[in-house]
Structure 1
Amino acid sequence: MDFGAPTKRSVTIAGHETSISLEPVFWQQLETAAAAEALPLNALIARIDVERMDGDPPPNLTSAIRQWLLARALEQRSGE
């Protein structure tokens, strides 16, 4: 496994730009998930952003993305 340092990217959510720092493996999985759902990357991140607001307290966006990706991977694994 390649343990890369976090990479910062700018994304647009709800009409404003924000920066997100994720390790390359998370960016790759996020891009794969967006393609699988036929969504632009920004749209998937925006959806995760909305979903994270249900938390009490809501996690930061980077943490929410990692948790969303883990939940997705676990769901896929249980479906095998």
Structure 2
Amino acid sequence: MITAPAGGFQGPVKRSVTIAGHQTSISLEPVFWQALEAAAVERTLPLSALVAEIDAVRIVGTAPPNLASAIRTWLFVQS
């Protein structure tokens, strides 16, 4: 049997991030925001710079996913 994570399940939180000079809203669950912030610190990058890098790689594909999905996927394969 599985159990809920500490603090329970939490829905997405919307935040604004500046990419290429314009603001965009991204909705991620708090656990993904925490992982993204940790990845930015690990790479000594501002959060917006890391998001911009993920965005740049994302849009190269022929049918790119939305940015939130790309961030979640990137975080998952980084662990």
Alignment TM-score > 0.5, same fold: yes
Alpha-carbon offset, residue 54 of structure 1: 2.3
In structure 1, the residue matched to 2:25 is: 19
Deviation at 1:49, TM superposition (A): 0.2
Give the TM-score normalised by structure 1. 0.88
Structure (1/2) with the larger helix percentage: 1
Structure 2 counterpart of 1:8, one-letter code: K
**Please, which runs of 5 or more residues in structure 1 have no aligned partner?**
74-80
Tell me if 1:29 matches 2:39: no
Partner-residue secondary structure (3-state), 2:62: coil
1:23 deviation in Å?
A: 0.1
Question: How many residues are matched?
Answer: 73
TM-score by length of 2: 0.89
Tell me which structure has the larger Cα radius of gyration.
Answer: 2
**Residue 55, structure 1, aligned to residue 56, structure 2:** no
Moved over 2 A (4+): none
Structure 2 counterpart SS, 1:8: strand
**Which residue does 1:42 correspond to in 2?**
48
Q: CA RMSD in A?
A: 0.8
Identical-residue share of aligned pairs (%): 63
Tell me the secondary structure at the aligned position of residue 72 of structure 2: helix
Q: Distance in 2 between matches of 1:10 and 1:34?
A: 16
**Unpaired runs of 5+ in structure 2?**
none
